[in-house]
Structure 1
Amino acid sequence: MNCCGLLNAEKEPVPLKSVEVELEVRDHVATVVSTLNYENKEDKPLEAVFVFPLPGDAAVCHFSAKIGQTEIVAEVKEKQKAREEYDDALSSGQQAFLLEESDQSPDIFSLSVGSLRPGESASIRLEYVTELAVQADEGLRFCLPAVLNPRYQPRGSEDVCIQVTSVPASLVPYSLSFSARVSSPRPVSKVESNCPLDALQYLNTEQTQATVKLVGGHKFDRDVELLIYYKDAHQPTAVVEAGQASAKPGSLMGDPVVMLSLYPEFPQAVMSSVASCGEFVFLLDRSGSMDGSRIKSARETLLLLLKSLPMGCYFNIYSFGSSYEHIFPKSVEYSQKTMEEALKKIEEMGADLGGTEILEPLKHIYSQPCIPSQPRQLFVFTDGDVGNTKEVIHLVRKNSGSHRCFSFGIGEGASSALINGLAKEGGGHAQFITDTDRMQPKVMQSLRFALQPAVMDISVKWDLPKGVSVTALSPPITALFQGQRSLVYAQLTGQSSEAAEGCVTVKYSLAGHPSQNQLHFSLKPAEDTGLPVHRLAARTLIGSLEMEERESRGEQEEGVKKKVVELSVQSGVSSAFTAFIAVNKGDGEVLQGPLVVRNVPTPRMMACCMPMPQYRKSFSPVVQLNSYRRPQSKVSESSLPKQPPRDPLLQLVSLQKASGCWVLDPALAAALGKTSRKVEKSKPASVNQEVWGTILALIWLHGFKMDAQEEWELLAMKAVSWLRAQNAPCVTECVEAGNALLGFNVQKDALGI
């Protein structure tokens, strides 16, 4: 077996020596500066090719290289022109550097370091800006991706142009130094990470500025995730950023740009009601890379989801790998019978369907007619090793009028472009679940969003002083959720006085009632910011145009492409149709002899090895992704390990009926930790067994499992609704008897009955 990754003829590792990353977070905008240090230890000129992941919505805005004392700054050019310039430079003996986005997925970049002389070092500086997403617990998530899992290519698809070479994570031959500076108008309450951090250092008494570092000597063998928490994080804000002095007034870079962060607050009366209808379609990844704890966690999550669905809704469960399956031919009404049938099938699900072909099951789901008065809600669970990301997102966008899509990226290396793109184009919400997280709380939060009344007729109205006009740069808002942030970018043209104010009003209809949220903001622009807001606005506009280009044909398509290239060059932000190119035109000696091509390995989190891929025949950086399939093997039933005992919470939940009640039987008594005789004996005489069983289950949940309330809250609400509908006598007496039996003191009001 050959270990994949870059090894030279003497089996020595690659020339990437170290990676330094400086992160600056201002409120919820992150500017990331990465420095990659290379050294050629060989006796021949070397070309290194490093393929690496970035956040899918990052705006790459600076790229430069320093060799000795010479620094060369890259320019953004049309992609084919940049590739030709790179090849020409190399063939004429000059040094050159090329950075380009993958044609298939906007979160994969390849960096070609053209011709390092023997013994020579080069320092590459790469800068990008990105928005930080709000998590379920109100933390802002920053992820520095290290793991680039091989992206699975659908059968029959054309080869993708990026060559991923990867090594076992423990053998990554370069280290990472990482430091972050955080500032916000509100105090920074804490910063957490999946990697060891030095203590948080506050820079002022208000605690609105702080720095934090990774503990030294960190091997860059896994994603680095930071969670940043502010006090009162849900405040709407507006940032107006001055334009670039050298750019033409009236252009995107020359005018001020405003970024609004809106947090809609909905009336409590609306939020406490839960929809009693909907078509819920769950799409589960069962490819080989989901094996182990991931598929187990997904099965447990589906149990909680099914128990939490409202009576009267419809549902179906699809699973996919190289092929796909569905439990029912079409969505069925939710009942005790259909729920039991689905749960039985879920128990049998393993990570045994091969590759990751998500496009075909999505097409099948969208080909099913929608059910009248049952809005479709799609939940997608995947570890995101997909090669045709842009095609998948495009399909979701095409069907965005008929459904909402909630997406979950499972484990390290999940494609941020895929997970965020599905939710953004599907008007839903994205969550990332690393292998240390419990999946259930995040998924149940998304189900709560899905059960919120859909917000309709969203419009954004600007009220600005005379002489100032506004051009929206963001696509129209299509989804609003309680407490979740919506970002809006707009260009401001014209002059206003220093003290001038603007106002923006978001109007929408919620559960049939007109509602609005308003934000007043100062028009005085912030100077010397490094233009992160302009670059994010440009990236947003480029993203919309790239989608438009995929939907247009012929001359129109060329026109949109031209617009993207112009905007990308003007703003200095990368796109699908441009690349960064830097050529060292100094008067150094011309390189002699053929170049040796080296692929720099990216860490992977799999314990398998693959053959070293063949690279390319010419200098142009053709990139190809390896497909990965887990070999199938037959295992006899007797050799399978015995199932471990189920978690007590899941044991209790599994006994709940679709209607929301629990039946008093030996299994319920065992889940409550009591004998059947004791449970039966404690029952007040006038109460039926289902009411008694349901009240006991609710007391147990409140008494034992308050730390996991977000996981069982919805199914408990369903149980309470069922109890109210029974008009049962002696509820107070039941609660007292239940507390006495289980040893708690849970109040009737706390149970909601």
Structure 2
Amino acid sequence: MLRISQYSSVSSQQSEQQYVPLKHVSVETFIKFFAADVTIKQVFRNDETKPIEAVYCFPIEEQAAIYSFIARIDDRELIAQLKEKNETQREYSDALEQGHGAYLLEQDEKSQDNFIINVGALPAGKECHISISYVSELDLVENGSRIRFVVPTTIAPRYNPNTGDVSSPAGTTSKYVQTAPYTIEFRCQLEPLKWLEKHPPRKGRVRQIFLLTDGEISNVNEVLDLCRSMATSTRIFSFGLGHSPSRSLVKGLARATNGCFVFIPPNTSVDIHVGEQLQKALQSYISGIQVDWNLGTTVMSTPTRIPPVYANDRLIVYALANDP
């Protein structure tokens, strides 16, 4: 669902919340080797009698790199520029206050697999066409015998321990509201992780944890920072359960602690996946990998901390060079 609010140049003015569905969504994908080039096209229309600010939150593959954001209204095509977040939000607000249309795409600060589109001052009766392109690596599955391409389509309701208002950059009164046709009891317990941090294993030993989660929490970065602090003594093998676990959380837990991750689709036997992860937990792996590029120029490698490599795993390291 798309949440909209009646546009007003006065930030303190209250606005009535209304909801409209997306009119159309399409996904185009080009897959080559271990990478996917994805373009998501979304169309929505302002059926109200006044201009609105539309704010749409959508999921995207964890660690994907967005390289294009285009908005089209009537015969106008606007191509986004990459700018620092605070500067961009300020320019967006200024444009709305001056009565101009403005478009903003930003990453959710609490979860790397969610992005937020702001379409400000969308005229009454007009359609807005949004096109987003990104590239991402594909995961190896079934002990490295296959690759899997996933387009996240659902943002499950996520527990947030710090409840509060969520406002748009333009200052219009609005909140994110997500509903589900069932009752969900959220349990986000940081206390067990904090206990593990305070009670490390005996010297010379490594603790290995199997963690099953639906990933429905919003404080992903806080959880990952806590796990990263005990990575020298603890490895987490994470399992993403259900229709829409946070891929940022499930992958991040394993990556932060040199473990492994797996996503288990609904109506699938958990035992098989647990057995595969147990085999990895018991096997040796390659760690401490360093890459010498020999390019004769300044090079920045990513990932900055190369993860361990298990049997049937794949490792891709990128070099960003000033003068290749």
Please state which band the TM-score falls in when normalised by the shorter chain.
0.7 to 0.9
Matched, 1:415 2:246: yes
Read off the aligned partner of 1:38 and give its amino acid letter: F
Identity %: 34
Read off the aligned partner of 2:132 and give its amino acid letter: L
Matched, 1:142 2:154: no
**C-alpha deviation, 1:476, in angstroms:** 3.2
Aligned residue in 2 for 1:487 = 316
Matched, 1:406 2:212: no
Matched, 1:383 2:214: yes
Matched, 1:431 2:268: no
* CA pair 73-366 structure 1, distance change in 2 beyond 3 A: same
| SS of residue paired to 1:447 | helix
| SS of residue paired to 1:44 | coil
Read off the aligned partner of 1:380 and give its amino acid letter: L
Q: Max radius of gyration: which structure? A: 1
* CA pair 427-125 structure 1, distance change in 2 beyond 3 A: same
* Higher normalized helix content (fraction of residues): 1
Aligned residue in 1 for 2:177 = 165
**C-alpha deviation, 1:474, in angstroms:** 2.3
1:472 to 295, 301, 318: 301
Q: Distance in 2 between matches of 1:477 and 1:384?
A: 24
Preserved CA contact (<8 Å) 1:358 1:392: no
**C-alpha deviation, 1:413, in angstroms:** 1.3
**C-alpha deviation, 1:469, in angstroms:** 7.0
**C-alpha deviation, 1:104, in angstroms:** 1.0
* CA pair 16-388 structure 1, distance change in 2 beyond 3 A: same
**C-alpha deviation, 1:410, in angstroms:** 0.2
**C-alpha deviation, 1:8, in angstroms:** 9.5
Matched, 1:99 2:111: no
Preserved CA contact (<8 Å) 1:54 1:107: yes
Q: Distance in 2 between matches of 1:114 and 1:457?
A: 48
**C-alpha deviation, 1:458, in angstroms:** 3.5
Q: Distance in 1 between matches of 2:18 and 2:218?
A: 30
Q: Distance in 2 between matches of 1:132 and 1:29?
A: 6
**C-alpha deviation, 1:414, in angstroms:** 0.2
Alignment size in residue pairs: 306
Q: Distance in 2 between matches of 1:460 and 1:54?
A: 29
> Within 5 A, what are the aligned runs for 1:305-320?
none
* CA pair 472-45 structure 1, distance change in 2 beyond 3 A: closer
| SS of residue paired to 2:304 | coil
1:47 to 50, 53, 60: 53
Q: Distance in 2 between matches of 1:412 and 1:483?
A: 26
Read off the aligned partner of 2:303 and give its amino acid letter: S
Aligned residue in 2 for 1:393 = 224
> Within 5 A, what are the aligned runs for 1:539-688?
none
Aligned residue in 2 for 1:30 = 36
* CA pair 37-27 structure 1, distance change in 2 beyond 3 A: same
Give deviations 1:566-590, integer Å, cap 9, x for gaps. xxxxxxxxxxxxxxxxxxxxxxxxx
**C-alpha deviation, 1:399, in angstroms:** 1.1
| SS of residue paired to 2:291 | strand
Matched, 1:111 2:117: yes
Preserved CA contact (<8 Å) 1:150 1:164: no
**Relative contact order (C-alpha < 8 Å, sep 6+): which is higher?**
1
Aligned residue in 1 for 2:91 = 85
Uncovered stretches (5+) of structure 2, i.e. residues with no partner:
7-16, 168-174
Preserved CA contact (<8 Å) 1:64 1:71: yes
Preserved CA contact (<8 Å) 2:41 2:132: yes
Normalising by the residue count of structure 1, what TM-score does the alignment of the two structures yield?
Answer: 0.38
Q: Distance in 2 between matches of 1:120 and 1:133?
A: 39
* CA pair 461-438 structure 1, distance change in 2 beyond 3 A: same
| SS of residue paired to 2:266 | coil
Normalising by the residue count of structure 2, what TM-score does the alignment of the two structures yield?
Answer: 0.85
* CA pair 15-113 structure 1, distance change in 2 beyond 3 A: farther
Give deviations 1:53-83, integer Å, cap 9, x for gaps. 1112111221111111110111122222211
Read off the aligned partner of 2:146 and give its amino acid letter: G
Q: Distance in 2 between matches of 1:448 and 1:112?
A: 45
Preserved CA contact (<8 Å) 2:24 2:42: yes
Q: Distance in 2 between matches of 1:13 and 1:458?
A: 50
Q: Distance in 1 between matches of 2:223 and 2:103?
A: 31
RMSD: 2.8
